[in-house]
Structure 1
Amino acid sequence: MERSKKYLTGLGNQYYRATYKSMGFTSDDLARPVIGIANSWSESVPGHFNLRQVAQRVRDGIYRAGGTPVEFGVIGGCDGMANGHVGMHYILPHRELIANSIESMAQINQFDALVLLGSCDKIVPGMLMAAARLDIPCIVLPGGPMEGGKVFDGRESDQTSSTEAYGMLSAGKITEEEYVSLEDTACPGCGSCSYLGTANTMCSLSEALGMTLPDASLAPATSARRLALAEETGIRIMELVEKEITSRKIITNGSIRNAIKACMAMSGSTNAVMHLIAVAHEAELDIDVLAEFDALSRTTPQIAKMNPSCNYNVIDFFKDGGVMRMMQNLTREHLDYDQMTVTAHTIGENIASHKYLYPDTGRTIRTLDNPFGFTGGVAVLRGNLAANTGITKPGAFDKSLHHFQGEAICFDSEEDAEEAILAGKVRDGHVVVIRYEGPKGGPGMREMYKAMKYLYGRGLSKTTALITDGRFSGTNNGCFVGHISPEASEGGTIALVRDGDRIAIDVEERSLNVLVNDEELAARKAAWKAPAPKFTRGWLSLYCKLAGSGAEGAVMDMKKLENL
């Protein structure tokens, strides 16, 4: 029986029907399956600004296919707006709030299914977590990427160009007039960021998982195709209800592996590692996602490339065939084509029937016999600096940096590092160490986006490296390692590094080490004291007590409640 029927039918359930009818619903509406639309529209997130129009077309599709749409709001913060200030502490934690709020609304109202509307960095993962947790029919529908802006520094600009340009301005490489001109031209319209950041990575991986309709992850935000796919999503959710295809029939060990391989093949954001760990956790799967990333990075070729790995944008990738062509080119040799999807067909069936809208240019997607790289674009590093894990993205930086050894220059916060970079204190050969920014110590595992962009702007992206227990934006390039675990606030080795120590990064050997002997590190550890929590009230005071490590997806560990 449909969930909604349990409380919308029968003489004794008049209360619920009367409540719905107070908002204009009819008896006919309430006799249909009730489909929740979780809409994260707001005027503060460009990737979500078009979701009102998208939601209406979803509503049309649901009603056309025999269901009753019931829309509700979901919070969703923009990583870009939070970067470089206290707001970034809230970005990763609010992934949990998104999942919790969707779970709450779905259970309070006993929706028969959900369409989840979101585009951006933590919103899509939070929605996937909720879908996996609830195990009812669900489809994720992003709002689509934005177009690129005017050409700057050899490529179409975006908002990150402004940050790079500020570094250039501080180094005297451009004029103030050139810098200011980007403000009105870098972002020509709404949509998720035009590059392959975490937002477009997770939208793409939702399609690779089978949780988003073919092409619906990356059709442009302002295109007619976006609206047509929205209506089709409304129709398809009704088919999933009829066929009882729930989220956990789609989110499986096999589909998680497909998503990992897709991430490798396109050199997606390093944040995908923790998000897929979290989704698998909510689906109660037994797959070791981190181990799979490590193993599959060595055997999955990189066959897709876009900004920040090259000058082509995500919309160029979409027009070349997008996720569907990339998965077709990976072939059964690398993907499990038998995994179920929200079309009620398998990935293999979707690929066989797919119609491409544009000719294949080969600029952003290649075949297995001519890859951009023979190993994946994301790698897991370990060593005395990262006993559990460190995550890097070799697909986004020059191969000359795959072996890097340099002198540590240490900072205990993101802000201190950024100030030093702009002041010229970071020089060629430095390894910038930014610590106490992990899930617990940050709290919230802030992104070191600005620091990397400032290094790029000052001409240091090929002569320096940066390591952190925090995270990176998907747009970052240069030699970086994030997600270092154990984090500094837990006494990880990154807390013990001192200015002048030598640090060795070796992507091919998958290693990250500080070249200090064990006896000296043990002496430093004995003298180390854990810092006081940065937040002692409000939501973040709870999060920093319960946050798991980056190696475990930074999900809230309820077992820690026993020790509070």
Structure 2
Amino acid sequence: MLSDRTKAGFERAPHRSLMRATGMTDEDIERPFIAICNSFNEVIPGHVHLHEVAKLIKEEVRKAGGTPVEFNLPGVCDGIAMAHKGMKFSLPSRELIADSVETMLSAHAFDAMICIPNCDKIVPGMIMGALRCNVPTIFSSGGPMAAGRLADGTVLDLNSVFEAVARYKAGKISGGELREIECAACPGAGSCSGMFTANSMNCLTEVIGLSLPGNGSLLATSEERKEFWKETARRAVEMAKAEGPRPRDLVTQDAIDNAFAIDMAMGGSSNTVLHTLAIAHEAGVPYDMNRINEISRRTPNICKVAPSSRFHMEDVQRAGGISAIIHEISKVPGALHMECRTVSGKTLAELTDGCEILDPTVIHPLDQAYSPDGGLAVLFGNLAAEGSIVKKAGVHPDMMAHKGPAVIFESQEEACEGILAGKVKAGDVVVIRNEGPKGGPGMQEMLAPTSYIMGQGLGAKVALITDGRFSGATHGACIGHISPEAAEGGLIGLLRNGDIIEYSIPERRLEAHLSEEEIAERRKNWKPVHKEIDSSWLRRYQRLAGNASSGAVLK
């Protein structure tokens, strides 16, 4: 066993002595050690119940013949960190989590690991750390939150509250109505109920082979979820005894292709691109943005979930879950590598055989696809020489192509003030720059400005481009991850108010109507925007972070 290096032989008597101090018995020490990597905290609603989840999982590990050893990791709630400087720490926390997993698995010795994440950066951070150490690992998230509901039956989620703020500011709803929405939108534990980043990443762990079916869609509060956690615990002990499969056996180029294909099919968050590229990097798998576009062009978008529709994760589960989406997309020749292995011990084909769509209004059959290509698209052009990302599934049909004058903001905060003050008009292209990994620093998510645009009724009339990124709850003509970013000297940093910006999502193109001569002239006088950074961690992150086209991994 891998754990023998810390507990076997007379030389390890001191080590065993310390283990006994934690309460371990002879029997505990002899069994496989199963790391329980838990992201429980009382800040994030998706994580607030994970201490109880860990108790259940640990009990089942013991029943299966293993010794569970729990450790905890930090986590940031993006919804609470949103729209203030706390959001700058969100993406960097992914690197802290990856480093923490690597530290714990390297400093100690475990025979397998169960990861219990639930939100945004926590999922990819744990995957990245697991790939570095390559100990048999299985993921078991806390599960999605149920959708909220008003007394009249109106279905809500977190995004509903952000948009309600803009409607209140515009005088469209009262303070009492805003409070009613605030109190009803998030009814309890779980990751926010739409196909936002957390749920998108939890779904993709199923596809990439690191979790059992249901990880992304079984509600946090359901009885089925409890059985899922128990099954995960039993499987982890089996993997420990068999010494595999290991993360690097599963996270191959074909598996990453599968993840992007299902991401396209289900209309996942644009942040999945950032995180999956980082995962590919840790797996040692070469991957670029052009390959993502190739997958998008051949993969139909057959599912739209909030914020792109009225449906939520509970509806996806009712309709057959991610397994039904995989099964349907597998009918497209060449769309998926169904022979890929998973932590279950079965291939993707074996795991999803017979998983038919149970509600075609939620998951459409291929002949009723929303579009013949995927829900995400990578745009290139002089404004995005290394690529940019748009959640095509959330864009109004009238905004699939657009040309308009730039209205420039140097930060998210400035953009929020300007949008709420009425500085943005129909036809404009809002430009938010200096919000990339280096420029932010930290590439904070920007749900507030996009929600304010929606709340003012401009969602089908205004585009937004940025070197920053958006929440998975964002919808509309919002193009993010522009690379190179302004802080690197990218063209987005040279734009001026009134410059004409044009994009075409079908053509995968994003351009500024500027001549090469004009660009060269502006570049002569360009200087990066200097921001005072009062955090030593963010200063280090700024020096080391790559841009979004490489997954914003640290160099």
- Find out whether 1:120 has 2:119 as its counterpart: yes
Compute the displacement of 1:241 (Å). Answer: 2.0
Give the AA of the match of 1:497: L
Contact in 1 for aligned 2:34/2:240 (Cα 8 Å)? no
Partner of residue 343, structure 1 = 344
Contact in 1 for aligned 2:320/2:359 (Cα 8 Å)? no
- Find out whether 1:176 has 2:175 as its counterpart: yes
Mapped to 1, the partners of 2:154 and 2:427 lie a distance apart of 27
- Find out whether 1:543 has 2:544 as its counterpart: no
Structure 1, residues 50-103: CA drift from partner, whole Å, max 9, x if none? 111211221122112211000011111111111100011100001000010011
- Find out whether 1:225 has 2:224 as its counterpart: yes
Mapped to 2, the partners of 1:289 and 1:270 lie a distance apart of 15
Scaled by the length of structure 2, what TM-score is found? 0.97
Give the AA of the match of 2:91: L
Partner of residue 529, structure 1 = 527
Mapped to 1, the partners of 2:415 and 2:288 lie a distance apart of 31
Contact in 1 for aligned 2:32/2:241 (Cα 8 Å)? no
Partner of residue 12, structure 1 = 11
Contact in 1 for aligned 2:200/2:216 (Cα 8 Å)? no
Mapped to 2, the partners of 1:494 and 1:450 lie a distance apart of 21
Contact in 2 for aligned 1:154/1:311 (Cα 8 Å)? no
Mapped to 1, the partners of 2:453 and 2:142 lie a distance apart of 32
Partner of residue 374, structure 1 = 372
Mapped to 1, the partners of 2:246 and 2:464 lie a distance apart of 42
Partner of residue 399, structure 1 = 397
Give the AA of the match of 1:70: V
Mapped to 1, the partners of 2:400 and 2:122 lie a distance apart of 32
Compute the displacement of 1:171 (Å). Answer: 1.1
Partner of residue 239, structure 1 = 238
- Find out whether 1:35 has 2:69 as its counterpart: no
Compute the displacement of 1:532 (Å). Answer: 2.6
Partner of residue 100, structure 2 = 101
5+ residue gaps, structure 1: 558-564
Contact in 1 for aligned 2:76/2:90 (Cα 8 Å)? yes
Deviates most, 535-544 or 45-54: 535-544
1:436 to 434, 437, 441: 434
Partner of residue 86, structure 2 = 87
Contact in 2 for aligned 1:127/1:140 (Cα 8 Å)? no
Compute the displacement of 1:533 (Å). Answer: 4.6
Contact in 2 for aligned 1:240/1:344 (Cα 8 Å)? no
Contact in 2 for aligned 1:239/1:344 (Cα 8 Å)? no
Contact in 2 for aligned 1:54/1:226 (Cα 8 Å)? no
How is 1:39-438 mapped onto 2 (pairs within 5 angstroms)? 39-151=38-150, 155-243=154-242, 244-286=244-286, 288-331=287-330, 333=333, 334-352=335-353, 360-438=358-436
Partner SS state of residue 407, structure 1: strand
Give the AA of the match of 1:254: D
Partner of residue 459, structure 1 = 457
Mapped to 2, the partners of 1:345 and 1:537 lie a distance apart of 46
Mapped to 2, the partners of 1:52 and 1:378 lie a distance apart of 35
Mapped to 2, the partners of 1:377 and 1:537 lie a distance apart of 37
Compute the displacement of 1:134 (Å). Answer: 1.2
Mapped to 2, the partners of 1:329 and 1:419 lie a distance apart of 45
Compute the displacement of 1:289 (Å). Answer: 4.0
Partner SS state of residue 49, structure 1: coil
Counting aligned pairs with the same residue, the percent is 42
Mapped to 2, the partners of 1:285 and 1:361 lie a distance apart of 36
Mapped to 1, the partners of 2:361 and 2:314 lie a distance apart of 12
Contact in 2 for aligned 1:57/1:228 (Cα 8 Å)? no
Compute the displacement of 1:369 (Å). Answer: 2.1
Scaled by the length of structure 1, what TM-score is found? 0.96
Partner of residue 562, structure 1 = none
Partner SS state of residue 369, structure 1: helix
Contact in 2 for aligned 1:37/1:117 (Cα 8 Å)? yes
Structure 1, residues 149-194: CA drift from partner, whole Å, max 9, x if none? 1249995112221110110111111111111212221111110001
Contact in 2 for aligned 1:265/1:377 (Cα 8 Å)? yes
Mapped to 2, the partners of 1:497 and 1:154 lie a distance apart of 46
Partner SS state of residue 426, structure 1: coil
Contact in 2 for aligned 1:152/1:161 (Cα 8 Å)? no
